[in-house]
Amino acid sequence: MRASVVTPSDTDNIPSISGPGDARPCVLYIGTGGSLRVLTEGGDDVTFTNVPSGSFFPVNVLRVFADGTGASGIIAIW
């Protein structure tokens, strides 16, 4: 297992630990809950509301958008 802090971005996918430019889907850990807008592995832009603090988010995610995300302390896990 690998893990990295996520910086939400409206333009950039979560950089994979395996190397630059290698965007691989990951699941997320949510430190502080709230809304979470993501780009899924399948290409869907979707906002999840009321994601709880201290939870794992078991959706294959490529990007966490800054716009529409209120959750924080997000960690990507591969």
> By the 8 A CB rule, do 3 and 58 touch?
no
How confident is the model over 13-72, as pLDDT tens digits? 998 776 556 668 899 999 999 999 999 999 999 999 999 999 999 999 999 999 999 999
d(C-alpha 23, C-alpha 32), whole Å? 24
pLDDT of residue 15: 85
Helix (H), strand (E), coil (C) string for 12-41 = CCCCCCCCCCCCCCEEEEEEECEEEEEEEC
pLDDT for res 18? 66
Question: Cα(5)–Cα(13) distance, rounded to whole angstroms?
Answer: 13
Where b means 16+ CB within 10 Å and e means fewer, 3-22 reads: eeebebeeeebbbbeeeeee
Q: In the chain, what are the domain boundaries?
A: 3-77
Residue the block writes with tokens 């709230």: 34
